[in-house]
Amino acid sequence: MLIIPAIDIIDGKCVRLTQGDYNQKKVYNEHPLEVAKAFEDAGIRHLHLVDLDGARASQIVNYKVLEKIASKTSLTVDFGGGLKSDKDVYIAFESGANQITGGTIAVKGAETFTNWIKRYGGEKIILGADVKDCKIAVHGWEETSKLGLFDFVDGYQKKGIQTVICTDIAKDGMLEGAATELYKEMINRFSELKIIASGGVSDLADLERLAEVGCYGAIVGKAIYEGRIQLKDLQIF
């Protein structure tokens, strides 16, 4: 299973939110590149980079951070947050993203998102499925749609998506364990998709359970920043 640390950016700084609440923000490092290099030095190969300013602004904002990390590390970077237009995606890839993740745009601008899949390929475009009570949430998790998770994923699998990052918002930043049963059900329904778990990972045992149910990858954020998981211990995966 791929271990994918997350760096979330506000004002160019590395932060974490609790349950996506911008009012519950904690700054962990003012220099995201330092954090990315520490991940790389520990043998990490992938990074989930989220532009939280972009998510609020509905356009890419922190592409300079992406550019620095992509040019000064060898990490494979998946970039998301606020990508709403063809220009945003162009900037993200030009700034060094290996993949981009679309969440709100896949709900509110399905035609645009579908065109990205056709243009760049299903391996470059990741579907972001952020869920609250199994309904898809949008706009930085500040709005819950009526769209069910499984119908949402099924629709985009048919359009060529290969990878899905699914975040259980109730778990995110809580350090109370991941939504393992949810991911197990997703894997059973969508056996051909790469399912990446996100939200709630608190320790190595959580990661082991996600690996056991068959997750392709797991995104880890606060557990690393709070010292509950040591980077050296991640080498067992």
- Tens of pLDDT along 123-177? 999 999 999 888 998 866 667 778 999 999 999 999 999 999 999 888 876 788 9
Q: Where are the alpha helices (DSSP H) in 26-177?
A: 32-41, 52-57, 63-72, 86-94, 104-108, 110-120, 149-157
pTM, two decimal places? 0.94
Taking the alpha carbons of 225, 228, 232, 235 in that order, is the dihedral positive or negative? Answer: negative
- Percentage of the chain with pLDDT > 70? 97
With 80 as the cut, is the pLDDT of residue 19 above it?
no
Domain coordinates in residue numbering, the chain:
2-236
Q: Is 172 a catalytic residue?
A: no
With 80 as the cut, is the pLDDT of residue 188 above it?
yes
Among the options 78, 130, 172, 206, which is catalytic?
130
In the three-class reduction of DSSP (H, G, I as helix; E, B as strand; rest coil), residue 164 is classed as strand
Asked if residue 50 lies in contact with residue 80, where contact means CB atoms within 8 angstroms, the answer is yes
CATH class assigned to 2-236? alpha beta
Predicted confidence band of residue 51 (pLDDT cuts 50, 70, 90): very high
Q: Is 130 a catalytic residue?
A: yes
Asked if residue 75 lies in contact with residue 44, where contact means CB atoms within 8 angstroms, the answer is yes
Mean pLDDT of 106-113: 96
